[in-house]
Amino acid sequence: MVTRKRTAALLTAAVTAAALALSGCGGAAGGADPTDVNPEGEIEPREISWLLSRPADGGVITAMEQIADEYAADHPGFSLNLITTPDRPSYIQKYETLAAANKLPELFDTDATPFAQKLAGQDRMVDIDLLLADLGLDDDYREAALSYQRFDDGSLYMVPFEFQLEVFWYNTAIFEQAGVSVPATLDDFPAMCTALRSAGVTPIALDGQDQWPLERYMAYYPFRLTGADFIQDLKNGDASFADPAGQAAAQWLADLGEAGCFAEGFSSTGYADAQALFTSGKAAVYNIGTWELGNLATEALDPAVQGSVDYFTLPTVEGAVTAENEYVTPSGIGMAVNAQTYDPLVRDFLGYALERYPEIYAATGALSPTTTAQTTIPADATDLYSRLVTQADEVGTAIAMPWDTQLDPATNTRLQQELTLLVQGDITPEEFTTTMDAALAENLR
């Protein structure tokens, strides 16, 4: 069953890539200029669409619906059609299929993937650096929020609507009982896990079912050793998993597995189950982002553990080239603007929306991608909430990019499968790097 699913996924990716290559010239020939961010002409209200992958009841959509209603009140005939597919794999398939057919709507969500960079290279996405500058908003955005959306060459074609910090939440009472301290380096993790296991608790809660949380761990060691260089070189075929950074990461993951860092059967543990392990006091550590502030830093948290929850950021390693305040600080999936359908109405609406958005979004208790809006701290928040809001203003510029947004789909799928085997002890670090280098070479051809 797994083999058939993987074969189907690879076939779909190949067909989509081929279709995109064939349609690319046709798209570019449409006369669109990604740098023409202020086109001449009348603003003629109509329906515009946004293809997006976000929770229908989430803060981003709620804020944009309010903004669209406000704009429509002054521009009769305008409406914003939200085409929502929260399930990310299904969304990506829809997005890439529409791109291949040259039928993307005015606005669409995308990560800074190799696929998106191909679209930008075909002049099918508006230059966001130029757009924000033209709107007078370029200095409003957090540098880290924009950096997360940039391609490897530094170009920017997506607008961020979120800003998150990914940290390690931990139970101070469990740490004290087990006699362990916050790990000073990544190399301290295995010993920490061994001590926590001896104390009778699961060391780290992990959503293994969705696979990306485990993939985060693979990204940590290379980020500390090389910054963004290793993953950028890896996906471009200029590095291999057998390189020192890849070997160090593979060995660290194997050590985590041997030390029993994750729960037994972690590969079948879902998101809600992993969170419940931590919030019920059955797991000592939980690596997750500030999108969970409402559950982990308010009185919604179980009173039995509420006073014992704290957090630490990504530990460093010996010889690190990145700073302690540099870790995973994503600004979520970005919004791209279709250069083929860009006109005075789209520009005018975006100018209004991007200026109004930060204040409305920050009022929900979320971190704004700009520095112009102060996050509203909920009345039932613990001190962790305000501490993390303050921490957001102190992050560095280098970002540990999630690898699932960087690697091609086939390589990423294989990596997630092999990581599970590695942590379970079913393969050695050497077997892991050899298998992954073969998969990388095959998929880069």
* DSSP string across 29-93: TT---TT--S--S-----EEEEEE-S-TTSHHHHHHHHHHHHHHHHSTT-EEEEEE--SHHHHHH
Same domain, 157 and 180: no
Asked whether the beta carbons of 320 and 224 are under 8 A apart, the reply is yes
Domain housing 98: 47-163+331-375
Work out the average pLDDT over 242-268.
97
Same domain, 188 and 323: yes
Position 13 in a domain: no
Model confidence pLDDT, tens digit, residues 329-363: 999 999 999 999 999 999 999 999 999 999 999 99
Helices (H), 161-236: 172-178, 189-198, 212-226, 229-235
Position 382 in a domain: no
Same domain, 199 and 138: no
Residue 13 binned pLDDT confidence (cut-offs 50, 70, 90): very low
Position 392 in a domain: no
pLDDT of residue 32: 82
Work out the average pLDDT over 10-32.
41
392-408 burial, b at 16+ Cβ within 10 Å, e below that, comes to: beebeebbbbbbbbbbb
pLDDT of residue 2: 33
Asked whether the predicted pLDDT for residue 98 surpasses 90, the reply is yes
Q: Is the backbone of residue 89 left (phi > 0), alpha (psi -120 to 50) or beta? A: alpha
CA distance 91 to 41: 33
pLDDT of residue 30: 43
pLDDT cut 90: percent of the chain above it:
89
Locate the DSSP E strands across 276-346: 283-289, 309-312, 334-337
Asked whether the predicted pLDDT for residue 142 surpasses 80, the reply is yes
Among 121, 122, 120, CA closest to 110: 120
Among 275, 392, 390, 245, CA closest to 327: 392
Same domain, 156 and 91: yes
pLDDT of residue 25: 35
Position 11 in a domain: no
Work out the average pLDDT over 210-216.
96
CA distance 252 to 186: 8
Asked whether the beta carbons of 378 and 389 are under 8 A apart, the reply is no
Asked whether the predicted pLDDT for residue 24 surpasses 70, the reply is no
Same domain, 111 and 234: no
Same domain, 272 and 213: yes
Work out the average pLDDT over 431-444.
95
Neighbours of 177 (CB within 10 A): 14
> Across the chain, which distance is largest between two alpha carbons, in Å?
71
Task: Name the residue type at position 245.
Answer: A
Which residues, 6 or more positions from 329, have their beta carbon under 8 angstroms from its beta carbon?
144, 148, 163, 164, 165, 166, 392, 395, 399
Model confidence pLDDT, tens digit, residues 231-249: 999 998 999 999 999 999 9
Same domain, 224 and 247: yes
pLDDT of residue 18: 37
pLDDT of residue 89: 85
Position 4 in a domain: no
Average pLDDT value over all residues in the chain: 92
Position 8 in a domain: no
Same domain, 139 and 263: no
Q: CATH code at 176? A: 3.40.190.10
Among 411, 404, 422, CA closest to 266: 422
Instruction: Report residue 309 as tokens.
Output: 């929850």
CA distance 434 to 445: 17
Work out the average pLDDT over 215-243.
96
pLDDT of residue 86: 87
Same domain, 436 and 323: yes
Among 182, 198, 32, 172, CA closest to 102: 32
Number of domains, the chain: 2
Instruction: Identify which has the larger pLDDT, 86 or 179.
Output: 179
Model confidence pLDDT, tens digit, residues 303-338: 999 999 999 999 999 999 999 999 999 999 999 999
Residue 445 binned pLDDT confidence (cut-offs 50, 70, 90): confident
Same domain, 347 and 289: no
Asked whether the beta carbons of 221 and 186 are under 8 A apart, the reply is yes
pLDDT of residue 88: 85
Position 35 in a domain: no
Residue 7 binned pLDDT confidence (cut-offs 50, 70, 90): very low
Same domain, 268 and 341: no
Asked whether the beta carbons of 159 and 138 are under 8 A apart, the reply is no
Position 284 in a domain: yes
Work out the average pLDDT over 196-201.
96
Lowest-confidence region among 1-15, 169-183, 400-414:
1-15
Same domain, 371 and 404: no
The predicted model scores a pTM of 0.90
CA distance 147 to 259: 35
